[in-house]
Amino acid sequence: MSGAPEPDRLLEGLDPEQREVAAAPLGPMVVLAGAGTGKTRAITHRIAYGVASGAYPPDRVLAVTFTARAAGEMRTRLRGLGVRGVQARTFHAAALRQLQFFWPQAVGGPPPNVVAHKAPAVAEAAGRLRLRLDRPALRDVAAEIEWAKVSMLTSQTYAARARSLRRSVADLDPTAMARLLEAYHEVCSERHVIDFEDVLLLTVGMLDEHPQIAATIHDQYRHFVVDEYQDVNPLQQQLLELWRGRREDVCVVGDPAQSIYSFTGASADHLLGFSRLHPDARRVRLVRNYRSSPQIVHLANLVLSSADGRRDTSADLVAQSDDGPPPVLTSYPDDEAEAAGVAESIRALLDGGQEPSQVAVLYRTNSQSEVLESALARAGIPYLVRGGERFFSRGEVRNAIVLLRAAVRSDDGSQPLGESVRHVLSGAGWAPRPPEGSGAVRERWESLQALALLADSLVEQTPGARTSDLVAELDRRAAEQHAPTVQGITLASLHAAKGLEWDAVFLVGASEGLLPITLADTPERVEEERRLLYVGLTRARRRLEVSWAGARSPGARSSRSVSRFLASASGVLGAGAQSSRPARGRRERGRRTPAPPRTCRSCGAILTSAAERKIGRCDDCPATYDEATFAALREWRRDVAAQTSVPAYVVFTDATLIAIAEHEPADRDALAQISGVGERKLELYGEAVLGILSATPPTTR
């Protein structure tokens, strides 16, 4: 055979640092990989090189990461390199597989069920202690239980640790939270269920207490790769130590500058201290950024380095891409004006040919998305909220896969795969041209279009592929939750955006109080907020627009200032063309008159939140709507959401439904005046809503 041996061919096309990672498949290694530096490429080539060179068989490798999407991407890349059999899983998936397999041997009987959500058990535990917790408090308590477990704290040790860290949850003191933690454990035990943290805890206990099971694991897995190692928490680190035993073949990859999950118990200390635990470890730093333009990379470096003058500049990213437009900083008078300005810029991008799937709007907190969703809907821009319904759970996707399975028998290969698949998908509602505008109909089309494009991609990789190959690929992706790309711009929090990238990124809310958020009350927490902004900036490939608003609502006093993190970057940020544009409805000439504050219809107090202003009363005041009407509206919304395969809030938010029930509009004009309805939703749902209002008999007033 001519040419270089296959192992050497695997090293071709890697940069010097990536090659150093890949060419040393044995022994301990720590890879400090900056954003966009090709870390997944480096570690998958390392595994592939190890297999091709005979250093280890693939089924002896365990590669762990933190999301099913990342694990699926790793398996896909390994298959592309000709490697099959490597176990690439999340910590939880790997642990659950082992726990279920060894449970009969370690404990006996069937293993407990894993609950997807803690809230029901938390609510029951709180009820036993006569604690009244609303839905936000239940979520906070569930998050605190997760933190306690991954920090390996019990109900006996929690209170002292929580006091030392000044943790406060749902107005519960540490002693009360410790009692709630114990009650939650009792509820789960009685139901014979466990949560996701218990999966790790029980696996740790099983390996620690049963040497024969640990020996089986040590014999099975002899080489380890851990991605995103800066996100490891103490419990995951303990599990990793039990998995590897005394073996030194472990490669960890991470970036201290992207350590943003301390609230979950994660710490970059494990990454930074790896060489102390493994003195012979090889250390490689990846700094060549292939994702972003030099202008974006320069801004990201400035934001990170301005923390103090002592930061190690050897960690600065070095751009490898072509020049792009300078990042832009735009100021707006208020949040609504900011959302409208961002929607206008995105509309211009899409009209210029930009693919919607390559545009994202990022924000610090999920509550910021509502005003953005309204502005995008008014502009007719399709969007997806990251963290919503999973792709393979959508009704149109499930139906399409059923049709594709049925078409396998009739596919004799006489037609190209893309053509035959589109013919099948037409039976599920696909058409060559997308429907006008946005909304549920457009979202369904985008889901089906993603399946059609996946068929085209499969043919590029495997010429001659047929429908059966596509169905097998979809089954694999569904198991791994590795969804194909859907055409719509992405709305995501900065935390949810980590690990993703887009051609154009709009980062909103870059003001004091949001970045850093007000809750960041220590120097350590402020610096984590800086890293969070850094993560957001480095999601952009070519275009980056950062914006902030002086006030929360139109007419309010401008009390905000631009984020301190951008102070050192003023020289590289261009001013947005819309920075002085007034908000909609404001006077453009002369002295602006602030709009009068809106007051509660029940008690007369000034309304402070957008939800309160939408319904016209304080959250604490009793509802003034007819309960039967509100119940009928919610039941209708649930049915519409199920029929169109969208989350219920996409139809109408709770605040909008309450406002409709309280105002009881009698015609379309009156319904259109309610915040959250809008022209598009009036057209889609107006007749049905007015019909419900006229048909529901009042029960209370």
Q: Strand, coil or helix: what is 221?
A: coil
**Least confidently predicted of 127-141, 397-411, 619-633:** 619-633
Please report, for the chain, how many H helices and E strands are present, in that order. 29, 17
Distance between CA atoms of residues 624 and 383, nearest Å: 34
Distance between CA atoms of residues 652 and 676, nearest Å: 7
pLDDT band at 590 (very low <50, low <70, confident <90, very high): very low
Q: What is the CA 631 to chain-centroid distance, rounded?
A: 32
pLDDT for the residue 577: 54
- Percent of the chain past pLDDT 70, that is, above it, reads 86
Q: Which residues pair with 250 in a beta bridge?
A: 224
366 vs 96, more confident = 96
133 vs 688, more confident = 688
Cα separation values, 240 from 42, 44, 64, 247, Å: 21, 19, 9, 11
Average pLDDT over residues 309-335: 84
pLDDT for the residue 441: 61
pLDDT for the residue 592: 35
Residues 540, 313: contact at Cβ < 8 Å? no
Element (H, E) at 226: strand 223-226
- Extract the tokens encoding 533: 């902004």
Is the pLDDT at 336 greater than 80, yes or no? Answer: yes
- Extract the tokens encoding 139: 């979520």
- For every residue of 108-150, DSSP letters joined together read -SPPPEEPS-SHHHHHHHHHHTT----HHHHHHHHHHHHHHHH
Distance between CA atoms of residues 367 and 351, nearest Å: 28
Is the pLDDT at 444 greater than 90, yes or no? Answer: no
Q: Whole-model pTM above 0.75? A: no
Strands across the sheet containing 61-65: 87-90, 61-65, 223-226, 250-254, 29-33, 282-286
Is the pLDDT at 589 greater than 50, yes or no? Answer: no
Residue 207 sits at the vertex; the CA angle it makes with 206 and 212, to the nearest 5 degrees, is 105
Q: Which residues are CB-contacts of 373 (< 8 A; sequence separation ≥ 6)?
A: 383, 385, 491
404 vs 581, more confident = 404
Is the pLDDT at 646 greater than 90, yes or no? Answer: no
Name which of 622, 633, 628 is nearest 671 in CA terms: 633
pLDDT for the residue 437: 45
Give tens-digit pLDDT for 151-170.
999 999 999 999 988 887 87
